[in-house]
Amino acid sequence: MQTMVKKIVLSYSGGLDTSVILKWLQETYQCEIIAFTADLGQGEELDQVRSKAEMLGVTDIRILDLREEFVRDFVFPMFRANTVYEGHYLLGSSIARPLIAKYLVQIAQEVGADAISHGATGKGNDQLRFELAANALDPAIKVIAPWRQWDIRSRTELVAYAERHQIPVPKDKRGDAPFSIDANLLHTSTEGKVLEDAGEAASAYVYQRTVDPVDAPDLPEVVTIGFEKGDAVSVNGTQLGPMELLIELNGLGSKHGIGRLDLVENRFVGVKSRGIYETPGGTILLAAHRGMESITLDRAAAHLKDEIMPRYAELIYNGFWYSPEREMLQALIDQSQNYVSGEVTLKLYKGAANVISRSSSNSLYSAELVTFEDDFGAYDQRDADGFIKLNGLRLKNWSARNNRVPA
């Protein structure tokens, strides 16, 4: 017996899975379905999304362009922390889910819906990201997760259901799909099927967004990125908004084969998964931001940021964007960015984005202090004598103890 629900807002992509889910919700709950599609720069034809939803009898279809908000309020705050999960992953899928959840809940409240629904499976991380966000944003909202409720267990059964209900099945969805793709303005994620054997190299056709670095231009390209308080604001002297800036960097990164990643990661649900990620603009942005911080952050502040970053990344990956601990860490991170302003120049070449110069009116870098020439008293090298003695005192005591007490 299903819980009585009067209206549901579905996160709808227009693909086979969510089209089947839409029909299943209609049959199962016998209520109105509102279809919501977030345009996050996935590059799909959104007019087709509308027509598919209409074909399935949906009259209230919300397609929202959230690209600017996505970059400004989610991607940029995350990049202020130099966020990477397990040392490599730039969290392109993870950071998109709290924004989608925000609008699912917001639309539900607007139309008086008592439930939201998503197409995430019971094996992945996205179910957590959607539902934990919903818990934080509206504790009273019900969440319907069809993949955890229905009796469909395979792609074959999904296609059969679609055919019974006259839902169009794309040719590439018949039989086994070679892999699953998730894309937005920050990245493209490819997982499953042909990638499930972690011992096999991914074929060239798996990569969707970047050229093979081998085939990238033989001449490097130099790009300068301007920052204000930790956020990128310009490329080669041209002021750009967050969305435009990331689009510009994506073009440069794609051209030079930058941002490819083949990763086996640890999902929050307890399994390991292998994915191919492409984050061209984000990889350039991360290198540039670290370059900017290298001359504007105090050593202890920079090291503290590096210490908390893995925890911050884990919160985002696990679905705790809307949590008190993430907000606390964000406040600390944002405070650290007050003087992170200036310009960073990078060389893009054959898959690499390397910082070659950086400048800032807030720079803590002093040529007078580090010079090998006469510093005219700016640094008294004799002071290092006492500094070393005091720091070495405990090591002398430790070594003396070890020499007289056998292990």
Residues with catalytic annotation? 17, 97, 126, 180
Cα 386 from Cα 371, distance rounded (Å): 22
Is residue 190 helix, strand or coil?
Answer: strand
The dihedral formed by the CA atoms of 178, 184, 186 and 192, expressed in degrees to the nearest 10: -20
Closest C-alpha among 300, 292, 392, 379 to residue 342: 292
The type of residue at 61 is I
Q: Which tokens is 290 given? A: 């670290």
CB 184, CB 278: distance < 8 Å? no
How far, rounded to the nearest angstrom, does the alpha carbon of residue 10 sit from its chain's CA centroid?
Answer: 22
Q: Which sign does the torsion angle of CA 402, 403, 406, 407 carry?
A: positive
Question: At 215, is the secondary structure helix, strand, or coil?
Answer: helix
What is the spatial distance between Cα 250 and Cα 257, in angstroms, rounded to a whole number? 10
8 Å CB contact between 27 and 20: no
| C-alpha–C-alpha distance, residues 352 and 344, integer Å | 15
DSSP structure string for 246-262: HHHHHHHHHHTT--EEE
DSSP assignment of 49-116: HHHHHHHTT---EEEEE-HHHHIIIIIHHHHHTT--BTTTB--TTTTTHHHHHHHHHHHHHHHT-SEE
